[in-house]
């Protein structure tokens, strides 16, 4: 079916409305708007104009039956004041470019009487199947996770930033494919076009390809597939020891209320340790005549250290806080990690005791100095937990913090507690109070239940139709050849590149015409000056045709001038539109060098631009080329909103060179004075008519390649090119870029947002 239908041909279907044939907008300079201004100029009817120099438009613009690939340097408002040489000299790189290419195709027309035949559907028995059995499958994927393999204390970090580093495995995930069979009917039909259909105008159809559209009908209930993934997972145990922050600030293993408050001697609302003198020699005692006194806070006549609270101990002899002795000198150094048992955020040595037997070990019964932590301790915080699963919550003297900075100590040997700098799977420890913690990193069985629903296909109807290219409403003339071209460029803002593209539609009927969505500048209220415009224009929602280049029987002539003027009533406002078109013989210089370099035979290349020597010829910049066989075409648009008097102007100047098409083109815009506040007027350089124009963009030809397509439209090619508008985004030849509404002037895209960049 597909092979027999692949024939290279495109056609247009014409429909007329049941209520009569409505004209679409198409400028004809010999008929348009004479009643508005009889003084408007039109030289097309004259036998001779200007200096008599002429040329066929397809030689100076483009012959769309050829495959054309061109590249232009594109100067936006930010670099509009540069030419190629100045830009290259300042930035040592070429200006940004815009590519331009054609997609040549041939279109033929069919009679309106054949309308019913185009929409009639024909059943295709050979492609239809009852109770079709289609094997299918569904992929179900488990949850991703990582296994905790070990904990390692980071000794390389600053002491205050040291903590356990969690060493994890790579991502672990499983999946499974469930195969099943779906049974449904397949019904196939063919038709030229699908319904609903247009009632009037032109419909472009590509007959080089059949497009298959599947209408899938689903059962009311989906099919449910389930599976359970079984994992052994390594994770930190629920005790979360490394995330615990100790709140047992007197290290007695019991929960305590706040310490007894004596007096707030300095009336600062805090209870703390106060110094009544400045210890000049740092010996810890007051030396009269040496140390400066501060205040005798407790009025005891002695200058010393005053406690505003009772700094309680724990009635237990406390050994030195356990630390990791990095240099093995048996002395604590500030860079060595330790476990802070009394919440004062500093390392504390062992409490002093009477070593009655001289064994350097505190034995039961030996007296000791029960010191506090030197800080006022408020009521101890705690975490409630049901340890025995009996419903009774117990107070555990810690809180959970967001970083694993609790250095774990194993007290299996109470006389030699050991700091754990590395913790592996299934490691255990015993704390100072004899509590046993097993499997700090534990293994658990993890059952991951997953389900997925898929649609249950009840039947599929496949309709084979031709590709719809586009729809132009209200056309009163026979269809001619329509061609699509494409431009692509990139802008850069703050180092971020943004890709842009646009499509253009041209056809030749008496003149070179462009099919566009008519654009109108936005009225007051949408902007205050051009730099605040968001979109700049609003557009009609149907394509219309306008003359791009006027010709006299296909000939472009020096001295040609055509003026048109008309009122356009829209839903937004009434616009008075004036268009002026002039041609003059000219020349232009652009960096479109045919040869940028010459080889010296040794693998190096001499650049023509600046005589530099490079090893890669592509590094050579372009060299200016002057084209003398040119016509300069100036198109001037003036659009005035009636009532407000606000006016927008657009001037497009294009240089057309023989066998090269557009070699240079510039767009300028202007805005009249704001009707309410003239401080918002966009100021620019005034021309002879006292109008301030602002440059929008400039194109200069960089390169062009033309491939002649002799008799291309009579040959069958494979694969065929697609050029439909409605579904163009589905085709790789067009980089999957959808057709979009935009404001155009020839190959220019008019985007007033560029004035804001």
Q: Could you identify the residue written with the tokens 């008019």? A: 750
Strand ranges, E, within 411-481: 418-419, 422-424, 429-430, 436-437, 441-454, 457-472
Could you check whether the bond before residue 196 is cis, i.e. omega within 30 degrees of 0? yes
pLDDT at 522: 73
d(CA 29, CA 550) in angstroms, rounded, equals 9
pLDDT at 9: 34
CA angle at residue 539 from 535 to 540, to 5 degrees?
Answer: 165
pLDDT at 715: 38
pLDDT > 80? residue 520: yes
d(CA 150, CA 166) in angstroms, rounded, equals 6
Phi–psi pair at 424, nearest 5 degrees: -110, 175
More confident residue, 723 or 560: 560
d(CA 501, CA 546) in angstroms, rounded, equals 21
CA angle at residue 482 from 477 to 486, to 5 degrees?
Answer: 145
pLDDT at 108: 29
Asked if residue 225 is part of any domain, the answer here is: no
pLDDT at 600: 63
Could you check whether the bond before residue 522 is cis, i.e. omega within 30 degrees of 0? no
d(CA 438, CA 640) in angstroms, rounded, equals 85
Least confident of 168-177, 250-259, 498-507, 609-618: 609-618
Task: Look up the pTM and report it.
Answer: 0.49
243: which strand partners? none
pLDDT > 50? residue 21: no
Residue 602, C-beta contacts closer than 8 angstroms, at least 6 positions apart: none
Rg (CA), the chain: 43
Q: How far is CA 427 from CA 410, 420, 538, 558, 581, in A?
A: 11, 10, 71, 94, 88
More confident residue, 201 or 257: 257
Q: Could you identify the residue written with the tokens 């009569």? A: 20
| Mean pLDDT, rounded, for 336-342 | 92
Residue 338, C-beta contacts closer than 8 angstroms, at least 6 positions apart: 321, 322, 323, 324, 332, 347, 407, 419
Q: What percent of the chain clears pLDDT 90, i.e. is strictly above it? A: 36
| Mean pLDDT, rounded, for 486-515 | 85
Strand ranges, E, within 16-128: 54-56, 67-75, 97-103, 107-109, 122-123
Q: What percent of the chain clears pLDDT 70, i.e. is strictly above it? A: 78
Residue 8, C-beta contacts closer than 8 angstroms, at least 6 positions apart: 208, 715, 716, 717, 718, 720
| Residue 467: other Cβ atoms inside 10 A | 23
Exposure string of 40-67, with b = 16+ CB inside 10 Å and e = fewer, is bebbbeeeebbeeebbebbbbbbbbbbb
Number of H helices, E strands in the chain: 4, 46
Per-residue pLDDT reduced to its tens digit, 385-425: 888 888 888 888 999 998 999 999 999 998 899 999 999 99
Asked if residue 387 is part of any domain, the answer here is: no
Structural domain range at position 537: 32-106+481-756
What is the spatial order of strands in the sheet that 148-153 belongs to? Answer: 164-168, 148-153, 422-424
Asked if residue 710 is part of any domain, the answer here is: yes
Return the SS3 of 374. Answer: coil
Joined together, the tokens standing for residue 616 give: 């890669």
Average per-residue pLDDT in the chain?
Answer: 80
Q: How far is CA 650 from CA 312, 533, 682, in A?
A: 87, 16, 14
pLDDT at 4: 32
How do 482-493 and 97-103 pair as beta strands?
antiparallel
Asked if residue 212 is part of any domain, the answer here is: no
Asked if residue 687 is part of any domain, the answer here is: yes
Selection from 615, 616, 596 nearest residue 607 by Cα: 596
31: left (phi over 0), alpha (psi -120 to 50) or beta: alpha
Top-confidence range, 162-166, 364-368, 567-571, 614-618: 162-166
Joined together, the tokens standing for residue 729 give: 């985004």
Q: What single string gives the DSSP state of each residue in 135-204?
A: EEEEEEEPPPB--EEEEEE-TTS-GGG--EEEEE-S-B--EEEEEEEEEEEEEEEE-SS-SS--SSEEEE
pLDDT > 60? residue 588: yes
Total domains in the fold of the chain: 1
pLDDT at 190: 80
| Residue 303: other Cβ atoms inside 10 A | 20
d(CA 240, CA 402) in angstroms, rounded, equals 11
Identify the H or E element spanning 748: strand 748-749
| Mean pLDDT, rounded, for 242-264 | 91
Exposure string of 597-615, with b = 16+ CB inside 10 Å and e = fewer, is beeeeeeebbbbbeeeeee
Band of residue 111 on the pLDDT scale cut at 50, 70, 90: very low
Q: Could you identify the residue written with the tokens 């566009």? A: 516
Band of residue 29 on the pLDDT scale cut at 50, 70, 90: very low
Asked if residue 287 is part of any domain, the answer here is: no
pLDDT > 90? residue 643: no
pLDDT > 90? residue 543: no
| Mean pLDDT, rounded, for 586-591 | 90
Cβ-contact 756, 508 below 8 angstroms? no
Residue 38, C-beta contacts closer than 8 angstroms, at least 6 positions apart: none
Asked if residue 401 is part of any domain, the answer here is: no
Asked if residue 456 is part of any domain, the answer here is: no
């Amino acid at each position: 079916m597909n092979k027999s239908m692949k024939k290279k041909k495109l056609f247009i279907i014409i429909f007329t409305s049941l209520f009569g044939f409505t004209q679409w907008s198409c400028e004809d300079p010999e008929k348009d708007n004479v009643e508005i201004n009889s003084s408007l100029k039109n030289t097309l009817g004259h036998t001779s104009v200007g200096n008599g120099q002429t040329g066929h438009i397809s030689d100076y613009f483009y012959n769309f039956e050829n495959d054309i690939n061109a590249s232009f340097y594109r100067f936006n408002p930010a670099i509009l004041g540069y030419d190629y040489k100045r830009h290259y000299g300042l930035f040592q790189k070429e200006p940004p470019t815009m590519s331009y290419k054609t997609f040549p195709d041939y279109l033929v027309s069919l009679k309106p009487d054949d309308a019913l035949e185009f929409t009639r559907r024909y059943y295709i028995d050979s492609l239809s199947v009852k109770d079709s059995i289609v094997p299918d499958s569904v992929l179900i994927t488990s949850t991703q996770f990582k296994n905790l393999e070990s904990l390692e204390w980071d000794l390389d970090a600053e002491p205050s930033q040291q903590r356990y580093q969690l060493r994890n495995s790579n991502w672990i995930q499983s999946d499974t494919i469930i195969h099943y069979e779906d049974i449904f009917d397949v019904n196939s039909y063919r038709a030229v076009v699908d319904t609903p259909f247009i009632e009037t105008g032109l419909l472009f159809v590509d007959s080089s390809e059949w497009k298959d559209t599947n209408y899938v009908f689903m059962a009311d209930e989906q099919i449910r597939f389930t599976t359970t993934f079984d994992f052994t997972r390594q994770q930190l145990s629920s005790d979360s020891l490394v995330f615990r922050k100790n709140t047992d600030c007197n290290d007695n293993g019991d929960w305590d209320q706040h310490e007894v408050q004596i007096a707030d001697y300095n009336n600062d609302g805090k209870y703390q340790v106060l110094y009544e003198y400045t210890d000049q020699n740092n010996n810890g005692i007051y030396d009269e005549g040496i140390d400066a006194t501060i205040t005798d806070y407790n009025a005891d006549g002695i200058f010393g250290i005053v406690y505003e609270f009772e700094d309680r101990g724990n009635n237990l002899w406390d050994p030195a806080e356990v630390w990791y002795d990095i240099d093995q000198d048996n002395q604590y150094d500030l860079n060595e990690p330790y476990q802070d048992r009394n919440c004062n955020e500093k390392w504390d040595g062992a409490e002093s005791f009477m070593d009655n037997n001289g064994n350097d070990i505190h034995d039961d019964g030996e007296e000791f100095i029960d010191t506090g932590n030197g800080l006022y301790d408020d009521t101890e915080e705690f975490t409630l937990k049901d340890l025995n699963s009996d419903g009774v919550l117990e107070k555990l003297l810690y809180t959970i913090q967001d970083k694993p900075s609790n250095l774990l100590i194993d007290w299996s040997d109470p006389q030699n507690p050991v700091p754990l700098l590395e913790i592996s799977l299934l490691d255990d420890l015993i704390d100072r109070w004899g509590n046993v913690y097993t499997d700090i990193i534990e293994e658990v069985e993890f059952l991951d239940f997953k389900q997925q629903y898929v649609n249950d296909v009840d039947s599929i109807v496949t309709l084979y139709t031709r590709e719809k290219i586009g729809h132009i409403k209200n056309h009163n003339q026979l269809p001619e050849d329509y061609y699509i071209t494409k431009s692509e460029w990139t802008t850069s803002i703050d180092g971020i590149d943004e890709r842009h593209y646009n499509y253009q539609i041209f056809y030749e009927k008496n003149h070179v015409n462009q099919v566009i969505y008519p654009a109108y500048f936005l009225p007051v209220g949408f902007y205050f000056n051009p730099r605040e415009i968001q979109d700049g224009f609003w557009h009609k929602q149907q394509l219309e045709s306008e003359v791009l280049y006027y010709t006299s029987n296909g000939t472009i002539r020096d001295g040609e001038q055509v003026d048109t003027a008309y009122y356009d009533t829209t839903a937004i406002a009434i616009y008075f539109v004036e268009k002026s078109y002039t041609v003059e013989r000219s020349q232009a210089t652009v960096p479109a060098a045919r040869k940028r370099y010459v080889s010296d035979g040794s693998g190096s290349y001499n650049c023509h631009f600046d005589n530099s020597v490079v090893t890669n010829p592509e590094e050579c910049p372009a060299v200016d080329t002057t084209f003398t066989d040119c016509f300069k075409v100036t198109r001037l648009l003036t659009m005035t909103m009636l009532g407000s008097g606000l006016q927008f102007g657009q001037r497009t100047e294009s240089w057309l060179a023989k066998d090269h098409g557009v070699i240079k083109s510039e767009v300028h815009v202007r805005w009249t004075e704001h009707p309410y506040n003239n401080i918002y007027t966009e100021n620019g350089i005034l021309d002879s008519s006292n109008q301030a124009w602002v440059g929008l963009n400039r194109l200069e030809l960089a390169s062009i390649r033309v491939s002649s397509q002799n008799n291309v439209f009579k040959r069958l090619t494979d694969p065929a090119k697609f050029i439909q508008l409605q579904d163009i985004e589905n085709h790789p030849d067009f980089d999957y870029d959808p057709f979009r509404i935009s404001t155009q002037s020839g190959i220019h895209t008019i985007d007033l947002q560029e004035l804001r960049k």
